Amino acid sequence: KNISNSLIINGYLRTGRVNLIGEHIDYEGYSVLPMAIRQDTIVAIRKRDKGEAEKLLRIANVNDKYTTCTYPADPNQNYSGFGFELADIVDFQAIDLKNHRWGHYFICGYKGYYEYAKSKGVDVGVPVGLDVLIDGTIPTGSGLSSSAAFVCSSTIAIMAAFGVNFPKKEIAQVTCDCERHIGTQSGGMDQAISVMAKNGFAELIDFNPIRATDVQLPAGGTFVIAHSLAESKKAVTAATNYNNRVVECRLAAIVLGIKLGMKSQEAIAKVRTLSDVEGLCVKFAKGHGSNDPVLAVKEYLKEKPYTAEEIEKITEKHLPSILGDNPTSLDVLKAAKHFKLHQRAAHVFSEANRVHAFKETVESKLSEEEKLKKLGDLMNDSHHSCGVLYECRYNYHTYAYNL
């Protein structure tokens, strides 16, 4: 596809991923265990000459389903009053989350590059125009991280175009941070495996700081990835689905912290994730002859959904003031009618345990057949928890699973 009269000088690809176990716990600070897949996204960039008049980003796609997007090259420029049609030119100082466009994912990487480069003291120079061409084989909205592959390949291609490089660990964190510009409160798994994957291995991804540990899966196992054809447009439905779960987890963590002895003000200020209160939950469990933090969930979080008023009574504070540091969390509050704190916390704690049980099984001295049986059981338990406790499975998934 011709988008320029000159050669494209930088092209980079990043793979999609399938998460073997550790669903929806990365943003709670817990380890996950994904592996890369063959399908990928490719981003090619031609940097325009500094002398060219138009300082624009033109983003085209090999697939004609996606119309060409155009954005200003200057991340600090406001284009209001310049006479451009808003359908063609978007000021990305703040990405328009109400008008979702596929090109926004490239802009996430572009914003992320500028923000991080400046924070590292890199002279980013005067913005120049870019011609960008995208291609890929990851089905969109299929749960294989097409968006993360797009953001990661865009960020790396942009860095190459400007002659800048950072270590993989930093790129993984940068791409996680910059994808949040699209409005999803992602935890970092998708970006980390896209950047840090190794051929022939799954990876145990830990956070704070991000690091990857190779996991050699049993040679006799085959992992079947089936597309149920149900699409999950994560950025579009964030307030009612993905971000809703993030908010429920944070509220569950705060309530648990208070129930387990923290002052309300302290819990609100210090507790961000369920991993922040795991120690308190385990301490409670040990008093009852166990190490399982789910015991605290069963004791202190009711199974019936909470109303906003019930949570505010426990925390002694209005929810908007608790979550007001994140605009996308406020969008969740506007859309939510209730909050299932018990179910979300029970899933996160039990799933975190399954991740380490998975790795321990792989490294055990069990026979290959015994390993695969145990790994399959853990994955089945994960699937059940995702459906019943976290409600992030569609009927289509169950049909495919039952096959």
- Count of Cβ atoms closer than 10 Å to residue 50 Cβ: 11
Can 190 be counted among the known catalytic residues? yes
The CA distance from 350 to 385, in Å, is 8
The CA distance from 318 to 312, in Å, is 5
Q: Of 140, 172, 157, 116, nearest to 39 (Cα)? A: 140
Q: How far is CA 403 from the centre of its chain?
A: 29
* 8 A C-beta contact, residue 36 and residue 197: yes
The CA distance from 193 to 181, in Å, is 20
Q: Which of 26, 190, 276, 331 is catalytic?
A: 190
- H helices of 260-391, in order, are 264-270, 278-286, 294-300, 308-315, 319-323, 327-335, 341-362, 368-388
Question: Which residues are 235's β-sheet partners?
Answer: none
What are the phi and psi torsion angles at 130 (to 5°)? -130, 140
Tell me the residue type at 369.
E
68 burial type by CB count under 10 A (0-12 exposed, 13-18 middle, 19+ buried): middle
Q: Of 291, 275, 272, nearest to 283 (Cα)? A: 291
Question: Which residues are 135's β-sheet partners?
Answer: 42
Catalytic residues: 190
